[in-house]
Chains A and B, each alone.
Chain A
């Protein structure tokens, strides 16, 4: 018998199970795009057949980081920028868990930028949702790595001299095997994309445009979006790296000009996840590591058996 019986449990899952029945109520501002992410996750999880207890959501710090406070799964609300290393190790320790990491653009592309590149490079089997509101929300409206050039804030009073980063292109270059952008203003697409990302075997990166009505009223997140898959103008093959790269580049350019394109940009079903690669070279045990601690029959090698080389 497993020590983790919530994992893989087959039963009808009620959407409400993901909503805490008592406090806390979200502390987000009215109209905040973060509600959209919460909602799409609550819809997607039962749809892909996940029970609250087999899901681990790992968040960083920021308004975005509070996601798992309002979502009734196992959760780890970590520290600023560090959700990814915590999340990927949880997955390595117990490969049966459904691991979802989430955080803001400052959190994920700024302070956590290094971890983002490396987690994508290694293609860890997990989902990563970045709440991209082009601003630091929780610390009250400073310029973020995705804020447009010229963006004025209290810390960049003359307008930012920096070109915003290109999260989609960066993710592709680094090696993510599923890359999409969606927006809180389009709940149907958002739910679908989140569900796909969760089901994808590999690192699924979703750049989720969320509006921050409090600090970033002018943001393009309010502009009606265009779904690239549904528009005849943007015909490309999502499984082709080059075509995807070109589309992302264009998307990121037109975003700076005010047109919001969303949808799937790259889907590589063939690339093995890091967990698969690691187990192929014999560095990941077949049985989830965490299970072994509850396995009465597990054999624990001891250092005494290694002493031959020292005698």
Chain B
């Protein structure tokens, strides 16, 4: 097997330190000059239960998980309940080994902790026979014993990393550096001893017959390893957001936590409140009083936010909400990604909506579009929603540090200063015409803030007159409603003219076929398109980020330019395809769908296969995990 890419999977029980170990190992690989991308799989349990993290590393850009993987470090589940008998969850100790074998590629490596996983258990799963069949190289090591000898059992992760480094012929330097950054004193000593002993023992005890070695690479600039949640939080910080209110719900909690931890040092305010209605209402109240504010949640919590969201639209109060999708309906699968809340986020709350919805498709876009969401929300005075999912939220990728090197943008958009207020239109009673529709440029009526001189008005969730009084006058209603809704046209125009497209294009410009996708499925689709073209197909891809206002022209041009197109998304009802048809009123006959909703994100090979079955008239049956939805009229 060639060593052009390493896909290392570390598996254990929740609570076994899989996350921190993988984070450090990914960083070590990044520091050695490789591009890395991580994928995290975990169950909805706090301790115990099989979990893994996969790190894909290569000497080229990686923007998706791979197909399968080639190195398994299986620690065993130390929180396994009832190891003697088959517990409710089955015999759990061995799950981090047994549950992962299906995806391991031919010629792959297996290291498992024989200190925790018993010989009988291994025999019971027929590992030897399977290894022979697949040319796997199996290395049982007593990681637990080794760790216990030098320190504590929990350090078996370090032993595992030592074995990994030995088998991959890696330098220990970066791993050691990261350890000394993270710890000190006796703990560091013990960990270093364990690392070295595991490394040496492996080299002495085994002869390596496998071909897999860590790929070599180098970076020209400094890299940072960060997740989609980090990127969203950092985009918010750089946009001047200094107020966040929330209520915990996976996976949105990550963004909430990052900001709550950073805000005290930055003069920001964070509030954990009683529920999501309150959370969004607080963000709204803070924004009304002059702070750049955000809130967010996942599907169920976002449902509660629909009231304050509508209030923000009606009172034209800027606000950023993030919605981190997980599989639904209802509480669904809390730790599994899905792209099933698109329609919900587009149309939640009563009346005709005037909101902006961005769906970033990568870590970089998560940063850019969160920043943009703040900018648009404050310039146009309406709520902007960033919709992403558990996958983008938790995956880590290396990004050029320079990418983040830009000025903060704390300006309050179309908010007037007191001097400007003095010049602005007021009614006979001296009230500021805050909702003035008469000369609203770009449909925006500039606002004042409570406490400013000369800016008094009433913000109301009822339909209202220019100064904010409740009004059911039909002419006023039409003027206000039209202005609010037409803001979306002004925004679409601005996005077209002043910003680089939020949409991403890839593949061959003149291709016959197209694949169109959105959000976090982009990475896998992008890679699939490259592979398809390499194998002689003629395909191009488009990943759409603007959900509202919808990029009508761009999507129309793309679809017109191809004979047929496949829409790839992680949900069961083809919501994005539905949106395209609704927005463009055509192309129903041109689009088929590739859908996946089993809780795991697409792998590139599934997209390749889906394409072949769908568009290239292959008569293979697709795998059971994906579904094909034919084009209308098919």
Binding site for B on A (CB under 8 A): 3-7, 20-24, 52-54, 56, 58, 61, 66, 68-69, 72-79, 82, 85-94, 96-97, 114-115, 117-118, 278, 282-285, 287, 289-290, 292-294, 298, 300-304, 306-307, 310-311
Q: Which of B265, B291, B307 contacts A79 (CB 8 A)?
A: B307
Known: A7-B451, A74-B450, A79-B461. A97 touches B289 (CB 8 A): yes
Binary contact readout B308-324 vs A (1 if CB under 8 angstroms, 0 otherwise): 10110001000000000
A20 to B431, Cβ gap below 8 A? yes
Find the residue from B225, B288, B430 having the highest chain A CB count within 10 A. B288
A290 to B291, Cβ gap below 8 A? yes
B290 to A77, Cβ gap below 8 A? no
Cα A78 to Cα B451 in complex, Å, equals: 18
**Chain B 267-307 residues near chain A, CB threshold 8 A:** 267-271, 273-275, 277-279, 281-293, 307
B46 part of interface (Cβ distance < 8 Å): no
B453 to A294, Cβ gap below 8 A? no
Cα A307 to Cα B289 in complex, Å, equals: 31
Task: Collect the chain B residues with CB atoms within 8 Å of residue A115's CB.
Answer: 274, 278
B240 to A293, Cβ gap below 8 A? yes
Beyond A82-B281, A89-B243, 15 additional pairs, beta carbon < 8 A: A3-B417, A6-B454, A22-B429, A76-B460, A78-B461, A82-B307, A85-B273, A89-B281, A90-B286, A92-B243, A285-B269, A293-B240, A293-B412, A310-B226, A311-B224
B237 part of interface (Cβ distance < 8 Å): yes
Which of B248-256, B383-391, B403-411 lies at the binding interface? B403-411
Residue of B nearest to A293 (CB): B412
Q: Which of A79, A92, A96, A301 contacts B451 (CB 8 A)?
A: A96
Cα A272 to Cα B256 in complex, Å, equals: 27
A85 to B278, Cβ gap below 8 A? yes
Task: Collect the chain A residues with CB atoms within 8 Å of residue B428's CB.
Answer: 21-22
Binary contact readout B380-422 vs A (1 if CB under 8 angstroms, 0 otherwise): 0000000000000000000001001111101110000110000
B220 part of interface (Cβ distance < 8 Å): no
A68 to B290, Cβ gap below 8 A? no
Task: Collect the chain B residues with CB atoms within 8 Å of residue A96's CB.
Answer: 451
B167 part of interface (Cβ distance < 8 Å): no
Task: Collect the chain B residues with CB atoms within 8 Å of residue A88's CB.
Answer: 282, 285
Task: Collect the chain A residues with CB atoms within 8 Å of residue B518's CB.
Answer: none
B215 part of interface (Cβ distance < 8 Å): no
A89 to B271, Cβ gap below 8 A? yes
A274 to chain B, nearest CB (A): 10
A3 to B452, Cβ gap below 8 A? yes
A289 to B278, Cβ gap below 8 A? no
B242 part of interface (Cβ distance < 8 Å): yes
B237 to A77, Cβ gap below 8 A? no
B458 part of interface (Cβ distance < 8 Å): yes
Cα A61 to Cα B453 in complex, Å, equals: 27
B452 to A69, Cβ gap below 8 A? no
B230 to A310, Cβ gap below 8 A? yes
A308 to chain B, nearest CB (A): 9
Cα A283 to Cα B270 in complex, Å, equals: 8
Task: Collect the chain B residues with CB atoms within 8 Å of residue A61's CB.
Answer: 461
Cα A242 to Cα B288 in complex, Å, equals: 39
Residue of A nearest to B415 (CB): A293
Q: Which of A85, A278, A307 contacts B285 (CB 8 A)?
A: A85
**Chain B 493-530 residues near chain A, CB threshold 8 A:** none
A306 to B285, Cβ gap below 8 A? no
Known: A5-B452, A24-B470, A53-B451. A283 touches B264 (CB 8 A): yes
B237 to A301, Cβ gap below 8 A? yes
B238 to chain A, nearest CB (A): 5
A305 to chain B, nearest CB (A): 10
Task: Collect the chain A residues with CB atoms within 8 Å of residue B265's CB.
Answer: 301
A303 to B234, Cβ gap below 8 A? yes
Residue of B nearest to A19 (CB): B429
Known: A22-B429, A282-B264, A290-B290. A90 touches B450 (CB 8 A): yes
B10 part of interface (Cβ distance < 8 Å): no
B471 to chain A, nearest CB (A): 9
**Chain B 516-551 residues near chain A, CB threshold 8 A:** none
Cα A53 to Cα B293 in complex, Å, equals: 22
Known: A53-B451, A82-B308, A85-B277. A93 touches B285 (CB 8 A): yes
A8 to chain B, nearest CB (A): 9
